[in-house]
Structure 1
Amino acid sequence: MFNENFNHDKVKFTVDTENWPWVNLSDIIKENGHRVLPVQKVFVFVPKKGKSKGKEKPAMASEGHLIFLPDHILSDVKKILDNDEFITAINEGKCGFQTSEYEDTKYDNGICYSGSFIDI
């Protein structure tokens, strides 16, 4: 099940995320406020059901959670996965994800949550 959905064979991260629960980025922010999350792994997965069925989705691992990331972060995650130096930096604890929020007036979605990858 997971081998078809994750990039385990292509990219080697040192963290074992087996049995980590999935959470939304909004839940992490609502619980802890805006802060820098240590990035322990990034990956792309393809859901097999739901409204995102068949579409690539970005995600990351941090502090015992697998976190769904916004779709607009997908290109950043792919760039990280294609760069051995970035992967090494993540494995060495040098990458963070600074959370943020914005109001989506274009599609009237209200407050949305996002972030950006930063050096830590």
Structure 2
Amino acid sequence: MKEKEELEKEEEEIEIEMDEYYVEKKEEEIEMEKEELRGGKEKKGRGDGGGGGGSGGESDTLPSPAFQHATQDVQRVMTTFSVAKVWFAVLLCCHVLLLARMTLFRVLGV
């Protein structure tokens, strides 16, 4: 009976240690992502001045998926605004031409 209880306690301790380990790893990943979003790319590109081989390869890493999605969303919004600006300009020109036509007809008395 005591052996069984001891085994259960050991299993629980192992599970707790594993959970703590995974939490630490996840926190490290989150910190790394925060660093990248804050401008970690600039830091990676500089190097340490000593000419290490590791700092040069880090600048080629891809941004996180969340950053890529955000960039795509911004590009979509910019494209939408560009299209909207063109439509607004076309409608404004049509409106100005219509007013000019109406004014011309009024002046000519047609």
- Same-fold call, TM > 0.5? no
Q: Tell me which interval the TM-score lies in, with the shorter structure as reference length.
A: under 0.3
Normalised TM-score (structure 2): 0.19
More strand by share: 1
Larger Rg over CA atoms: 2
Which one scores higher on RCO, CA 8 angstroms, separation ≥ 6? 1
More helix by share: 2
